[in-house]
Amino acid sequence: MKLAPQSIPYRALQKVSGVVVVLIFFASSSDLGVAVSAGIAAAILLVVGGYELAYYRRYEYELTEDTLDISSGVISRREREIPYGRIQNVDVSRSIAQRAIGVAAVDLETAGGSSTEGSIRFVTPAEATRLRREVQRRKSATASGERADDVSGESPAAGPVEEELFAISPRELAMVGALSFDGRLIGLLAFLGSGSFPVLSSYLPGASAAALTVAAVVAVGALFLVSWILGAAVSFSNYYGFRLSRAGDELRYERGLLRRYSGSIPTEKVQTLTISDNPAKRALGYATLSIETAGYAPGQGGDYGSQAAVPIARIDRVYELAREVEPFGSPSFDRPPKRIRWRYVVRYAVMVGVLLGIAYAVNWYVAIDLPWYAPAALLLAVPAAAHLKWKHRGYWLGEDHLLTRNGFWNRSVKAVPYYRIQNVIDSRTVFQRRWNVATIVADTAGTNSLVGSDAAAVDFDVAEAVKLRKELNDRLQTALAEQRDRRTMFEWFEDDVDGDVSATEGRDDRTEQSVIADAETGRDRIGTDPVDEGGADVDGADVDGADGDGAEKGGNENSTGGDVDQPEDGVVRPDFLPSDRDYSEPAERIDTGEYAVDRNPSDADVAHRSDDRHQEPDPPGDGDGEGTAERTDEERTDEM
């Protein structure tokens, strides 16, 4: 497929516009004639136009059976294949100019890489929509193991039914504008202002302290007003016409007044949900929801990363929406120990002290009688602030999610599915050690965590923190095991459809048995000693479950046979002996008749059984599955 032809002049103009501005500047300031500069501009335009034409001619994308292929590049060629299963989200955006000439930009994000992986610069809007739909359809087709070709017989337009989850009302839009406040301008002006303050004061030698204070108050007020108007305008145009809907297993959003954004997020790729509010929103009963995936890369900043944020909605509505995406139940947060409030008191008191010091220094430097001791009044607010900080912290362990809560001015509740945890970090600063507390961070691959806003349980008692850390690790392993079981079960159903019925009968209940036993051990484990029995235990059971599968199919991906030597306690421990395989040689292939099998299956140190299976295939009714159930049963009694 090709890009839209309109994209050639648009891209050329986009690139040249900056150069032209510089040229005009030069032409007006130097003695270069208008004709000459116009000539130069035309020449540049011609060159860039030629380049863009070549770019257009050499850019091609194609939706194949299981990858999206993009080949591009004029001078250095690049061919890229993105598997559908790895695509995190698809975003389409159209600025005013792009809408006028009828093009749209499509961005496909995967978790890897440092920038947008598939950036298709300018196709027609209809094509953009088609791309998005096709990617989703083919993705769900690959996920369910069907061939994309099989489904393509149906009409491509017929996707899953779209069900609207949220549409912003004018009232809410007005509220978004009113409540958003762009603090960046204040920061910038304060930074500039602090530099010019001594200069200003030298201009106003006769001004009294009172007049100065009034001027400062007015200036600050104006600053706030301007920031507020700016923030309101920006968020109004960002969230104009916001709409979130659900279609099958993906979320779709649409928003924007000047620049129109739309896109899709697969629900299975959601890393973290964040529900944030501030005192104003809390008082009015509103909150914000943002959905994070692993797609956006660092440095893409700005609007990215929270594209699908529901800007504002009633709190109950926000929770309802969040549960729609990740059913986390109703949380009840555990707070840090009460004594930790003293820590915050000390911290804030020190901060007030520093502020006093600065005020005193400024007063001394400017040599005008300013009321430098005024910040001392803040000391009165310290206990309340400490209490509020403590009150808004907390964490909660749900069935499948960790929820954390932090912050008073900008409170955020984060819900992380255990299955999404990447690693667990327990950190204790010098000060935290004095209070015998620790912070536990559950790191995910989400984007916002890059700016340091991971889900964190802050300032919990060390003993509790250590328990939480282990618990999180355990629950991750349990979630992984469950996910694995789900997949095994899935393969089974798949098999039953086309396999012969007589052979399937026997093994069917066998797997079911082992799967159930497996799930039970998983659940049991939560209460008991965390690390020791861990994943290897589940692994052991899992291996057996998969074994029946592999044996019948004639051995394929799961060569992890039952002949892994299991010690008495049934716990398969990782083997730390290095394998003696020479990696400079390709792996030996064995022809099993159906297809070739690597002699070193995935190099995991597990016995492969491709050849002995050939000689003596496991009879379907042997005691293999029962053995599993027995073993796990024994184990459970042991644990009890």
Partner 1 sequence: MTTQRLHPRVRAVWVLRAVVAALVLSAPVAVAFYFGYLPRWAPAVAGVGFLLIGVGHAILRYRRWSYEIREDALYLDRGVITQVRTTVPLVRIQHVDSRRGPIERGAGLASCVVYTAGSRGADVRIPGLTPTGASDLREELKRLAIRADGEDAV
Q: Which residues bind partner 1 (CB under 8 A)?
A: 88, 111, 269, 294, 421-430, 433, 441, 443-447, 449-450, 452, 454, 469, 472-473, 476-477, 480, 483-484, 487, 531-532, 534-536, 539, 573-574, 576, 578-579, 602-606
Q: How far is the CB of 272 from partner 1 (least distance, A)?
A: 10
The sheet carrying 250-255 orders its strands as 118-123, 104-110, 87-94, 260-266, 250-255, 243-247, 162-167
Residue whose CB is less far from partner 1, 235 or 560: 560
Closest CB to partner 1 among 87 and 106? 87
In the complex, what is the shortest distance from the CB of residue 426 to partner 1, in angstroms, rounded to a whole number?
Answer: 4
Paired tokens of 388: 């509020």
Structure tokens at 455: 């889900």
- Reduce the secondary structure of 226-286 to three states and give it as a string: HHHHHHHHHHHHHHCCCEEEEECCEEEEEECCCCEEEEEEEHHHCCEEEEEECHHHHHHCE
Planar angle of CA 167, 172, 176, nearest 5 degrees = 115
What is the closest distance, in whole angstroms, from the C-beta atom of residue 445 to partner 1 in the complex? 4
Of 278 and 404, nearer to partner 1 (C-beta) is 404
Least separation in angstroms between residue 255's CB and partner 1 is: 25
Nearer to partner 1, 94 or 469 (CB): 469
Helices (H), 266-381: 279-284, 315-325, 340-366
Q: What is the dihedral of CA 383, 386, 392, 395, to 10 degrees?
A: -130
Measure the CA–CA gap between 356 and 154, rounded to whole angstroms: 73
Q: What is the DSSP string of 163-206?
A: EEEEE--HHHHHHHHHH---HHHHHHHHHHHHHHHHHHHHH-SS
Minimum CB separation of residue 609 from partner 1 in Å reads 16
Q: Please write down the long-range contacts of 400-409, taking CB distance under 8 Å and 24 or more positions apart.
A: 400/326, 400/327, 400/328, 400/479, 401/326, 401/328, 401/329, 402/442, 402/455, 402/472, 403/328, 403/331, 403/333, 403/455, 404/442, 404/455, 404/456, 404/457, 405/333, 406/456, 406/458, 408/279, 409/278, 409/279
Residue 172 burial (C-beta neighbours within 10 Å; 0-12, 13-18, 19+): buried
Compare residues 109 and 277 and give the one whose CB is closer to partner 1. Answer: 109
Contacts of 433 (CB under 8 A, 6+ apart): none
Cβ of residue 633: shortest distance to partner 1, in angstroms?
A: 22
CA distance 430 to 436: 10
Contact 61/224 with Cβ under 8 angstroms?
no
Cα(623)–Cα(621) distance, integer angstroms: 7
Least Å distance, CB 455 to partner 1, is: 11
- Please identify, using beta-carbon distances, which residue of 370 and 450 lies nearer to partner 1: 450
Least distance (Å) from partner 1 to the CB of residue 365? 21
Query: Residue 12 Cβ, how far from partner 1 at the closest point, in Å?
Result: 37
If the CB atoms of residues 535 and 548 are measured against partner 1, the closer one turns out to be 535
Nearer Cβ to partner 1 (32/531): 531
Closest to partner 1 by CB, 262 vs 560, is 560
User: In the chain, how long is the greatest CA-to-CA distance?
Assistant: 104
For residues 213 and 270, the answer to whether their CB atoms sit within 8 Å is no
The distance of closest approach from Cβ of residue 290 to partner 1 in the complex, given in angstroms and rounded to an integer, is 15
Nearer to partner 1, 334 or 491 (CB): 491
Those residues with Cβ within 8 angstroms of residue 472's Cβ, 6 or more apart along the chain or in another chain: 402, 418, 421, 424, 440, 442
**Taking Cα atoms as reference points, which of 253, 283, 286, 287 lies closest to residue 267?**
253
Q: For partner 1, which is the closer residue by CB, 125 or 530?
A: 530
Look-up of token digits 């912050």 = 407
Q: Measured between alpha carbons, how far is 84 from 155 in angstroms, rounded to an integer?
A: 20
The residue (of 278 and 412) whose beta carbon lies closer to partner 1 is: 412
Closest contact distance (angstroms) between CB of 497 and partner 1 is: 22
Q: Which of 245, 297, 270, 249 is nearest to 142 (CA)?
A: 249
Q: How far is the CB of 155 from partner 1 (least distance, A)?
A: 30
**Dihedral sign from CA coordinates of 130, 131, 137, 138:** positive
Residue 193's Cβ-count burial label (10 Å; 0-12, 13-18, 19+) is middle
Residue 569: what are its φ and ψ, rounded to 5°?
Answer: -75, 0
Alpha carbon distances (Å) from 431 to 300, 392, 435: 34, 20, 7
Closer residue to partner 1 in complex, CB, 388/538: 538
Helices (H), 444-574: 462-498, 501-527, 530-553
CA angle, 366 as apex, 360 and 368 as ends, to 5°? 85
Q: Which is nearer to partner 1, 98 or 264 (CB)?
A: 264
Least separation in angstroms between CB 476 and partner 1: 6
In this complex, which beta carbon is closest to partner 1, that of residue 331 or of residue 535?
Answer: 535
- Measured from the CB atom, is 337 or 534 closer to partner 1? 534
Please state the closest distance from residue 111 (CB atom) to partner 1, in A: 4
CB of 569 to partner 1, least distance (A): 13
CB contact at 8 A, 321 and 267:
no
Task: In angstroms, give the least distance from the CB of 279 to partner 1.
Answer: 28
